[in-house]
Amino acid sequence: MGFLEQVSAALGTCIDVHESSIQANWKLVIENSLEGYHVPFVHRTSLAKSSEIQFSQDEKDSQDFMPETGHSAVHNHANEKWLQRWSRYQKDIGQWPFMFEHYVHQLVFPNLTVTSFLGYSFHVQHFRPLAHDLTSVHSSIYSTRFDGQSARGKVLMQSIQTENIGFTHQVFDEDKTACERTQRGSAQASRPSIPGEIIEQRVSDFRKTYHRLQKLK
| Backbone phi and psi for residue 21, each to the nearest 5 degrees, phi listed first | -120, 150
Residue 216 clears pLDDT 90, i.e. is over it: no
Number of domains composing the chain: 1
pTM here? Answer: 0.94
Average pLDDT, the chain: 94
pLDDT of 188? 87
Give buried/exposed letters for 78-113 (b at 16+ CB in 10 A, else e): bbeeeeeeeeeeeebbbebebeeebbbbbbbbebbb
Provide the pLDDT confidence category of residue 194 given band limits of 50, 70 and 90: confident
Cα distance between residue 105 and residue 111, in whole Å: 13
Which region, left, alpha or beta, applies to residue 83 given φ > 0 means left and ψ of -120 to 50 means alpha?
Answer: alpha
pLDDT of 183? 96
Cα distance between residue 62 and residue 64, in whole Å: 7
Q: Which domain holds residue 84?
A: 3-186+193-215
Q: What is the pLDDT of residues 37-93, one digit of tens each?
A: 899 889 999 999 899 999 999 989 999 999 999 999 999 999 999 999 999 998 999
Q: Which CATH number goes with the domain that contains 141? A: 3.90.380.10
Residue 192 clears pLDDT 90, i.e. is over it: no
CB 39, CB 16: distance < 8 Å: no
Cα distance between residue 144 and residue 116, in whole Å: 11
Percentage of the chain modeled with pLDDT above 90: 86
